[in-house]
Amino acid sequence: MSEEEEHDIKAQDELAKVMTDLGLNTNYWIPKLRDILHITNVQALQYFGPEEFETIEPHSRLPWEKKALSKLVEMSGKEVVLKQSQKCDPIGNEQKHDTPTKQHPEQMQQKRSTHIGEAKMEDETEQRLELKGAKENPLCDKSHSNDMESTFLKQLDLANISTLHGTVSRQICLQNASKGLALEGVYKTGQINARLQKRGKLVNIPMSFDLAGPVHQPMIKQQEFSSSEEESIFDTAVEKIGFNTITTGFLQALKEETTSQHSKALYTEEKQRENPNSSRIHCAKYLYLPLASGSFDFDKLKLSDEALEELQSIESTLKSVNDAFKTRVLKSRLGSFFENFGSHVHTGPIHFGGIFKWKASTEDITSNQKNEQRNILLEAVERYSTSAYNSSGCAGGVSMMASNFITEFSEKYNATLLSKVTFSVGTIGGPPGICSLEQWKTDIVSNAKMWSVIDRGTSLVPVWDIVTFNHENDFENTLIANSLKEAYTLLTNPIPNCRVEVSAKAEAQSVMQDIKHWQESDVEYNLQKIIDLKQKLHDETKNNLIWVNTCLSHPALQSFLSNFITAPANTVKIKKLMRSIMEPKCCEVDSFPQLASVMQWLNESEGVSAQVSDFKDLVNILTKAKENLKEVEFSTKYSEIIEKRNKEITNSFNSFCQSLRTSELIEQELLIISVASGVGYCVKEKRFQRPLHYDNIAHLQLTLESACGESSSTC
């Protein structure tokens, strides 16, 4: 074997180890990374950013795979920092030279004023030398700038933050940060602009909410804008949606949407006021500084008093309205509710901290000057931010920066164009009116009241789920929850593209016809083929109608899936693939005779399930599950334990139902099923559709005991 081949094998092994650590299937994902992004080794992962994530994300087969891939974005930042920090020996040398020697107090006092003056001169000289170096060798300077940027991120002193978390009131943090933005709803309509609108307070502060360290790493991102409006839209999107969520594709879609809809007239009016032969350019660098994070537990989410009162009022109206006017009421009253409070709430992880922005801009440039002016701005903002990374911190402020920039680059660029460059800073969070990065960072790190919400995460929960599971006693029945869901569908579902629908349905029917010819030896391949079809149908049609009505309802697919129940060898992987196919839409199928058996098989533990025929045994299992969850409530193993206990509860509950059915105690079976449906039990799927936490299990146990009687062995 040649050295080159050995090197390739070693590189692939290293890459496989990273993917395995993330829980990703190497046989599936390594070819994807190679073929789509040309990533063949660990070193290339340091360039895996938001754009690469956006490209590879559609190939995810399961929701958790998207989360695992997003970790690569965070890892890439760390990898770059690690590699770049190894190149920064001069910083260590500077620290060595700056170490003071012991002196007599009088000598130190005599030298203090001289030292201050010399330091200021050194700062100005150093800044001029940096600018001169950039002028003479811009490529070398860019590399040096990247080194400085990476080192700066690594050396951010956030050591005191961990002790601050415990002293920060969650009420103060959630209420103060961005004026309570974390508690606001968001109206998810498919239009990005709707996500940027101000909404009312949708939920109260969950009692379980607590602050922890940030999930994200500090990062620096550069952005260019062709107008003040573009910059304003970007800043608003960062505040409302989150810095870490913004991608190039997102910005392009937002720009097109903004200039083609309600803001088009304003945009056109602004353009008309401008000189048609001139334009403006803005270039900015953003420092994203997350200091803390926290998530909302779904089972602790409660609607705000205002939102709850409004829904109760709508419920009263719906009870008395004639069916002929129901749709009108749904669109009117609940449409107003969505506009005022939103349809969904972000559950996190919510990041608190701040964003510091360096900006260089210019106006009134002609089209033939645009390229040169753009190069000027790129160098300007690079030097502006770099001066802040280094110890000088741009000591002379904005005016000195502008003056030095013009002086040092006068030989490289047109003097008139240089004179049009203006420098400024901006902040989200932290003390207002601060131009010094060091001062801003010191203040925001030490004072949680200055924090802003800088990212709300990507996890969203619909308001009707909050009503169904967390407000059982505030509404008489499921009327308002069902009405919310129906109104949301009426108001947001786009008119289907007939050509796309027809094409997608034809492809689905073709695959269904081919199933009977599939080879038994290609089980995993065939299951993955079905999963890919499911994802493709959703991507093309933006709904699951064809998947449910054409695929899951097809006898050939049902027979194919049902055969796994009696198959002699069923691996964990096959069960995972099957679960991806069946969930979460299988209960919407009108006719699937073997559905209950398939779902029961999927929910069985790998070991032999305990047979539960006595009500007391079921109660004991619920009691032990509660105790276990209480013990590990703040443990890192909580998610693992809750999954294990939920599986045990599901199997025991189904076993007890089967026992009642065998004994022909149909009324008793229906009674406990109706009780369990209150915490999300689905009869068709034979499982609980949401994880049962401590409170859910306690509620289930109490209700079962009340309904069935503690002393009854057969319920």
Same domain, 571 and 512: yes
Confidence band (pLDDT; 50, 70, 90) for 498?
Answer: low
Concatenate the DSSP letters of all residues of 91-133 into one string: HHHHHHHHPPPP--HHHHHHHHHHHHHHHHHHHHHHHHHHHHH
CA distance 93 to 662: 81
pLDDT per residue as tens digits for the range 318-343 = 888 777 677 787 888 999 999 999 99
Out of 85, 100, 124, a domain closes at 85
Q: Decide if 600 is inside a domain.
A: no
pLDDT for residue 126 is more than 50: no
Best CA proximity match to 546, nearest among 514, 609, 589 = 589
pLDDT digits (tens, 9 = 90+) for 525-536: 888 889 989 988
In a domain? residue 302:
no
Can you give the pLDDT at residue 306?
95
Is residue 36 situated within a structural domain? yes
Mean pLDDT along residues 538-550: 84
| Tokens matching residue 505 | 């349905």
Lowest mean pLDDT across 37-41, 152-156, 306-310: 152-156
670 located within any domain: yes
Mind listing the pLDDT tens digit for each residue in 621-648? 999 888 888 887 666 677 778 878 888 8
When the pLDDT of each residue in the chain is averaged and rounded to a whole number, the result is 75
Residues with Cβ within 8 Å of residue 215, at least 6 apart in sequence: 74, 290, 293, 349, 351
**Separation of alpha carbons 168 and 152, rounded Å:** 27
Nearest to 622 by CA among 603, 599, 650: 650
Task: Determine the straight-line distance between the first and last CA of the chain, rounded to whole angstroms.
Answer: 71
Burial of 112 (0-12, 13-18, 19+ CB in 10 A): exposed
Q: Which of 689, 537, 701, 696 has its CA nearest to residue 599?
A: 689
Estimate to the nearest angstrom the gap between the alpha carbon of 217 and the chain centroid. 14
Over 90: is that where the pLDDT of 304 sits? yes
Q: Is 422 exposed, middle or buried (0-12, 13-18, 19+ CB in 10 A)?
A: middle
Residue 88: pLDDT above 80?
no
| Residue 521 covered by a domain | yes
Residue 51 lies in a domain: yes
Q: What is the mean pLDDT of residues 339-356?
A: 91
- What is the C-alpha to C-alpha distance for residues 473 and 454, in angstroms, rounded to an integer? 35
Render pLDDT for 360-401 as a digit per residue (tens, 0 to 9).
Answer: 888 776 767 777 778 888 888 887 777 776 544 444 456 666
* DSSP codes joined into one string, 582-645: HTTTGGG-S--TTHHHHHHHHHS-SSPPPP--SHHHHHHHHHHHHHHHHHTTTSTTHHHHHHHH
Q: Give the C-alpha separation, 222 to 357, whole Å.
A: 10
Give the integer Cα–Cα distance in Å for 674 and 666: 12
Q: Give the C-alpha separation, 98 to 309, whole Å.
A: 64
203's CB contacts (< 8 A; 6+ apart) are 183, 185, 296, 301, 302, 303, 304, 307, 345, 466
Distance CA 35, CA 30 (A): 9
Question: With 90 as the cut, is the pLDDT of residue 7 above it?
Answer: no
Provide the 10 A C-beta neighbour count for residue 142.
14
DSSP assignment of 525-548 equals: HHHHHHHHHHHHHHHHHSSSHHII
Domain match, 7 and 64 both = yes
Using the Cα atoms of residue 635, residue 637, residue 640 and residue 645 in order, give the sign of their dihedral: negative
Ramachandran assignment for 190, one of left (phi > 0), alpha (psi -120 to 50 degrees), beta (any other): left
- 577 with 619, same domain? no
Query: Over the stretch 402-439, which tens digit does the pLDDT of each residue have?
Result: 666 777 676 677 777 877 888 888 898 988 888 888 88
Mean pLDDT, rounded, for 4-14: 74
CA-angle at 671, arms to 659 and 620, nearest 5°? 60
Do residue 631 and residue 674 come from a single domain? yes
The sign of the torsion formed by the CA atoms of 491, 497, 500, 504 equals positive
Average pLDDT of the segment spanning 36-60:
79
Cβ neighbors of 696 (< 8 A, separation 6 or more) are 299, 679, 680, 690
Picking from 85, 106, 131, the residue at the C-terminal end of a domain is 85
Q: Which of 60, 85, 110 is the last residue of a domain?
A: 85
Q: Domain count of the chain?
A: 3
The two three-digit tokens of residue 414, written as one number: 């047109």
Query: Furthest-apart CA pair in the chain: how many Å?
Result: 99
Q: Tokens 């999954």, residue?
A: 643
Residues contacting 447, CB < 8 A, separation 6+: none
Distance of alpha carbon 468 from alpha carbon 626, whole angstroms: 22
Identify whether residues 532 and 622 lie together within a single domain: no
Give the single-character DSSP code of 281. Answer: E
Domain that residue 586 falls in: 494-592
Q: Please tell me whether residues 656 and 695 are part of one structural domain.
A: yes
Average pLDDT of the segment spanning 606-632: 79
Whether residue 50 has a cis bond before it, omega within 30° of 0: no
pLDDT value for 540 = 82
Looking at the fold, whether 574 and 622 belong to one and the same domain comes out as: no
One-letter amino acid identity for 208?
S
In the predicted structure, residue 116 carries a pLDDT above the cut 80 = no
**Two tokens, residue 220:** 């620096």
The pLDDT assigned to 244 comes to 63
Amino acid, res. 284: A
Q: What's the predicted TM-score (pTM) here? A: 0.51
Q: Count CA atoms closer than 13 A to 63's CA, side-chain side.
A: 7
Nearest to 15 by CA among 34, 337, 5, 1: 34
Same domain, 658 and 621: yes
Per-residue pLDDT reduced to its tens digit, 677-714: 888 888 777 778 778 888 889 888 888 888 876 445 44
Percent of the residues in the chain that have a pLDDT greater than 90, as a whole number: 10
Residue in 179, 281, 272, 154 with CA at minimum distance from that of residue 228: 281
pLDDT tier for residue 245 given thresholds of 50, 70 and 90: low
Q: Distance between CA atoms of 537 and 533, rounded to whole angstroms?
A: 6
Instruction: Please report whether residue 117 resides in a domain.
Output: no
- DSSP summary character for residue 685: T
pLDDT at 199 over 90: yes
- Evaluate the CA torsion angle 121, 123, 129, 134 in order and state its sign: negative
Asked if 525 and 588 sit in the same domain, the reply is yes
Give the orientation angle of helix 523-541 with respect to helix 572-582, to 10 degrees. 20
What is the rounded (10 degree) CA torsion for 341, 343, 347, 352? Answer: -40
Place of tokens 């789920």: 465
- For residue 588, with 0-12 CB atoms within 10 Å meaning exposed, 13-18 middle and 19 or more buried, which class applies? middle
Q: Is the pLDDT of residue 447 over 60?
A: yes
> In this structure, is residue 280 part of a structural domain?
no
Query: Is residue 163 within 8 Å of residue 203, measured between CB atoms?
Result: no
